[in-house]
Amino acid sequence: MSDIDPKTHPEQWMEEKAGEGARKVRGYCDELKDATRRHPAQALAIAFGAGYAARSLPLFRTAGLTLRGIAGAAPYVLALIGAARAYEAIRNERMAQAMEAEGPTPTPFPNSQG
């Protein structure tokens, strides 16, 4: 089941998810810092191994292939974004028309002074 509330605006949902992700990353960083302080020799060995592995990888070739893939997919992604925005604009316009057709909403307490 989806955790998206249909009444929540997509931008608000994205901000909430980004905030959750940032909090998780901060938590992981704090855990990593604590583990490094507790076990400095192991942290140094892991960093050395990761550096050696990264040096052995064909990073420039991988980066070039990745950029070519992104550049090739860009028109399709932009078309999807445009279609999503058009859909949202049409939906918002239809909702506004439906609200206008219903007329003003009655207040629950017409004589109250608020």
Q: How confident is the model at residue 42 (pLDDT cuts 50, 70, 90)?
A: very high
The values of phi and psi at residue 103, to 5°, are: 90, -175
The neighbour count for residue 94, using CB atoms within 10 Å, is: 10
Q: Convert 47-56 to b/e letters by CB count within 10 Å (16 or more is b).
A: eeeeeeeeee
pLDDT at position 106 is 67
How many degrees, rounded to 5, is the angle at CA 7 between CA 114 and CA 76? Answer: 140
| Whether the Cβ atoms of residue 34 and residue 41 lie closer than 8 Å to each other | no
- Mean pLDDT across 37-62: 87
What percent of the chain stands above pLDDT 70? Answer: 86
Average pLDDT of every residue of the chain = 84
> Ramachandran region of residue 103, left (φ > 0), alpha (ψ -120 to 50) or beta?
left
Q: What is the pLDDT of residues 65-96, one digit of tens each?
A: 888 888 889 999 999 999 999 999 999 999 88
For the chain, the domains span 10-57, 59-103
Q: What is the pTM of this model?
A: 0.39
